[in-house]
Structure 1
């Protein structure tokens, strides 16, 4: 019987490798309040500002790799910068980007899969956050970013897993896992740096 994408060996390895760093990131002081009833408008805006920097660096690396190595994976409809900038504008905030080089830049298909796994997985988590945000007493909260792909979320996740399974060879699966772990660490470090940056909104 052919494995479905969600039950593939690659997906299992990625999920297992990132379980602990994923848990740690969910509890970061900037992100944890997003699923709590006491979330403030300022706290929400700060999380979006920090995530804007994360996606700016990560997407730059993804697009650079795909520009040099054409693959059957269209990243353009998956870019989250426009949604983040829309939400920040609605909050009256101007995004800042810290001058850091924490983020892994893909140099192989395995590394690309590791970076994509982290970002595409966070989009699915964003769906859960979006539903929680809708229940909060904050009025007219812009949620374009956390709403992500909306009704296409499940389809695009499956498409990513199918791409990863078809194009990440067995000898690069370890690279994919290591890069995904590095991505979680880079996001954590970026959020830490944002918290201590004097120029944040």
Structure 2
């Protein structure tokens, strides 16, 4: 099944990125630090979603419109008094030239929702914030249901497309890590 293959074959890159992000989160000391973190996500996810949207629509993922993250990140930034950053373009992003590559990139974005509630609590606790957390709260109580639906879509992909999806997911993890290093 593709969802399990993705988890196994992207584990090293996922853990490397996660370690970097957890370090960033643990280093937050002010609302301004948090805004900068959100701007990192906005820039990368914003550019990534624009590419994904060229190949994914409601015919592939019926609730695709509900899965976009850029608007909630921008709303959080604005609510906290910041301005959304520029979106990633060109070589800052993974290659996405078809629906399979878009699904691989979307795997990274959708996977980020699973730890979001924990991250939201960490940030709220560290900074005493009660607002500006909609991105990390994402789907709220529906997070695991949304993940299950996405996994089913992945598992419905033809076997021959699996290497393309896995490569795109790995590239998405690596490019996000590069984005963070370049913009910190």
TM-score (norm 2): 0.89
Which residue does the alignment assign to 2:177? Answer: 188
**Pairs aligned (count):** 183
1:65 aligns with 2:64: no
Which residue does the alignment assign to 1:80? Answer: 69
Deviates more, 1:150-159 or 1:98-107: 98-107
Which residue does the alignment assign to 1:149? Answer: 139
For the pair shown, the structure with the greater C-alpha radius of gyration is 1
Gaps of 5+ in 2: none
Instruction: Answer whether contact 1:14 1:177 (CA < 8 A) is retained.
Output: yes
Structure-2 change in CA distance of 1:178 and 1:92 (3 Å): same
Residue 31 of structure 1 deviates from its aligned partner by 4.7
1:33 aligns with 2:24: yes
Residues 48-197 of structure 1 mapped to structure 2, 5 A cutoff: 48-66=38-56, 70-97=59-86, 100-101=89-90, 102-166=92-156, 168-195=157-184
CA distance in structure 2 between the aligned counterparts of 1:186 and 1:78, rounded to whole angstroms? 21
Instruction: Answer whether contact 1:45 1:93 (CA < 8 A) is retained.
Output: yes
1:19 aligns with 2:11: yes
1:54-74 CA-partner distances (Å, limit 9, x unpaired): 11111101111125x942433
CA distance in structure 2 between the aligned counterparts of 1:82 and 1:125, rounded to whole angstroms? 19
Gaps of 5+ in 1: 1-8, 196-201
CA distance in structure 1 between the aligned counterparts of 2:27 and 2:41, rounded to whole angstroms? 21
Q: Secondary structure at the match of 2:114?
A: helix
Deviates more, 1:145-154 or 1:96-105: 96-105
Instruction: Answer whether contact 1:10 1:165 (CA < 8 A) is retained.
Output: yes
TM-score (norm 1): 0.82
CA distance in structure 1 between the aligned counterparts of 2:146 and 2:100, rounded to whole angstroms? 19
CA distance in structure 1 between the aligned counterparts of 2:18 and 2:67, rounded to whole angstroms? 22
Residue 137 of structure 1 deviates from its aligned partner by 4.6
